[in-house]
Structure 1
Amino acid sequence: MKPYLAAAIQMTSVPNLEQNLAQAEKLVETAVEQGAKLVGLPENFSFMGEVKDKLAQAEEISVASKKFLKQMAQRFQITILGGGFPIPIADKSKVYNTALLLDPQGKEINYYQKVHLFDVNVPDGNSYTESSSVVPGQHLPSVYVSKELGNIGVSICYDVRFPELYRYIADKGGNIIFVPAAFTAFTGKDHWQVLLQARAIENTSYIIAPAQTGINYGQRQTYGHAMIIDPWGVILADAGDKPGVAIAKISPERLEQVRAQMPSLKHRVFI
């Protein structure tokens, strides 16, 4: 593994599949022009709208999202994560919130279906019931081992509040962990950065966190601040609150240095 550039893309996805994919393509191209070899798109990158509309279009969104990711991987010769899109269950009554990782040949090399669903009454008065349309995944994340990019683990948004999931990824060898998200504006201002830094520090791993930002539909507002954070918890890149790209170097030397200086993964007592 040699040093390389990774990118966390920040979007304002809306209830329009074609519009979202066009936006995503431009941002992927921007990341590649800056030298990124590993690119992450946020949760709901291809569609973000009302539950009834998501369910009605789930099959179309799923097929188009997979096709798009394969095209981007092959066209730009990158490893790319689609950070969350709906894949319908058999009877199509609900979906899995699925993240998909593809290699530069367009081959699917890792996938993860979100296990923690966002059923929360936020203090700003908004309520979210992800379980009304999403089935929780049945498996914890696997780790894709790459000599070129490191050991890549995947989570999605609300997962970031459950440190045991990230320790599981670290135990499986993960040292590059994606956290694609559509964090609410209200919770994001207090919790987003500190949770990401905590997950990086406690697992001495890089965190790549693509994000949604702005008004997506109706009253749904997301926080933004797509980030890349190093194993010491240092914020290497922050996309702010507008659509764009956070890009930073992933360094194997930095991983080794931090894990040597702070070997907390080796000092665990409780399993």
Structure 2
Amino acid sequence: MTGVTARDPVKVALFQMTSGIDPATNAAAITTSARDAADAGAQMLFTPEMCGMLDRNRARATLHVVGESENPVLAAARQAARSTGVWIDLGSLAILRDDGHWVNRGFVIDADGEIAARYDKIHMFDVDLATGESWRESAAYAPGEAVVTVETPVGLLGLAICYDVRFPALFEELGRRKCDAIRIPAAFTVPTGKAHWHLMQRARAVEASAWVISAAQGGHHEDGRETFGHSLVIDPWGDVELDLGEGSAIGFATVDPARTREVRAQLPSLANKRPIDGVVA
């Protein structure tokens, strides 16, 4: 794996997708976005949750849920990283584990095409919304258990996925580990996105005093769902540096470690934490 340390500003690219049901089509779009990122001088590309396939028809999706070694989107992303020299954060793919369970797994791929980190989504999206939408992620996916961080061009990157954003304990731990940035790729519904997306993303940046980089699905999808979009880059003070709005798009932002140092010096909340009843609060 190529070693990196974030000391200078780093240009990143976010690819907001409207992923469909065909992994080959989605893989081609990710490959193109990696070339676009490289042409623009970005060192790292971020893609959304379920960037390889978004299909709520589980019988149909089963045909494409395979192990890592067989997954065409993962293979294409690794090749794209090697050919462009750009790190690629695959927000997540549906992966078949050796024990037969599915997992919602994110990957960080270095500039040599090697897998630098894996993260299995911990919190399952099991909800019944007032709009009538009902989702049971746990009916198909097994939850992850491990908190994951990895050194990348943006510094120490903490990994989370979508619904994880609602669970502060995970971000408490990422803050304790002094992450420079946290990635939260997503496929947010429109109702929950309108209500909470910007609010929670900004809160996570502020409480961890870290950059938050959140590539999102956006638009009307082939399987009939609609996602909120608004891929974000947020600085450690909570200021929004990039918002891609609706639909498919690629956008760029600069992650500056000097801003992180500035915020942590002004408001050293990570250093000021104290135990309450034996628990860090």
The Cα offsets for residues 127-163 of structure 1, whole Å up to 9 and x where unpaired, read as 00001110001212x21134x4311111100000111
2:83 equivalent in structure 1:
75
What's the CA shift for 1:107?
1.2
1:204 pairs, out of 205, 209, 218, with 209
Work out the CA distance in 2 between the residues paired with 1:150 and 1:91. Answer: 33
What's the CA shift for 1:7?
1.7
What's the CA shift for 1:29?
2.3
What's the CA shift for 1:174?
1.1
Matches within 5 A, 1:127-146: 127-140=134-147, 142-146=148-152
2:187 pairs, out of 182, 189, 207, with 182
Tell me whether 1:229 sits opposite 2:237 in the alignment. Answer: no
8 Å contact kept, 1:143–1:173: no
Instruction: Give TM-score, length-normalised by structure 2.
Output: 0.91
Residues 242-251 or 83-92, more deviating: 83-92
Work out the CA distance in 2 between the residues paired with 1:74 and 1:260. Answer: 38
2:247 pairs, out of 228, 242, 248, with 242
Work out the CA distance in 1 between the residues paired with 2:50 and 2:81. Answer: 18
Runs of at least 5 residues in structure 2 that lack an aligned partner in the other structure: 1-6
Task: Percent identity, please.
Answer: 32
8 Å contact kept, 2:67–2:98: no
The Cα offsets for residues 222-242 of structure 1, whole Å up to 9 and x where unpaired, read as 000011110011110111102
Runs of at least 5 residues in structure 1 that lack an aligned partner in the other structure: none
What's the CA shift for 1:25?
2.1
8 Å contact kept, 1:55–1:133: no
Tell me whether 1:108 sits opposite 2:115 in the alignment. Answer: yes
Work out the CA distance in 2 between the residues paired with 1:32 and 1:198. Answer: 31
What's the CA shift for 1:60?
7.1
8 Å contact kept, 2:49–2:91: yes
Work out the CA distance in 2 between the residues paired with 1:58 and 1:135. Answer: 14
Work out the CA distance in 2 between the residues paired with 1:218 and 1:33. Answer: 32
What's the CA shift for 1:218?
3.9
Tell me whether 1:9 sits opposite 2:15 in the alignment. Answer: yes
1:37 equivalent in structure 2:
43
SS at match of 1:222: strand
2:93 equivalent in structure 1:
85
The letter for the 1-side match of 2:172 is R
Work out the CA distance in 2 between the residues paired with 1:60 and 1:18. Answer: 16
What's the CA shift for 1:37?
0.5
Matches within 5 A, 1:55-70: 55-59=62-66, 63-70=71-78
Work out the CA distance in 1 between the residues paired with 2:199 and 2:151. Answer: 27
SS at match of 1:74: helix
Tell me whether 1:117 sits opposite 2:121 in the alignment. Answer: no
SS at match of 2:217: strand
Q: 1:124 to 1:38 in 2, by over 3 A?
A: same
2:106 equivalent in structure 1:
99
What's the CA shift for 1:91?
4.7
SS at match of 1:135: coil
SS at match of 2:219: strand
The letter for the 1-side match of 2:50 is N
The letter for the 2-side match of 1:143 is T
What's the CA shift for 1:170?
1.7
The letter for the 2-side match of 1:199 is R
What's the CA shift for 1:63?
1.6
The Cα offsets for residues 44-74 of structure 1, whole Å up to 9 and x where unpaired, read as 1110112222223201786212201211211
Instruction: Give TM-score, length-normalised by structure 1.
Output: 0.94
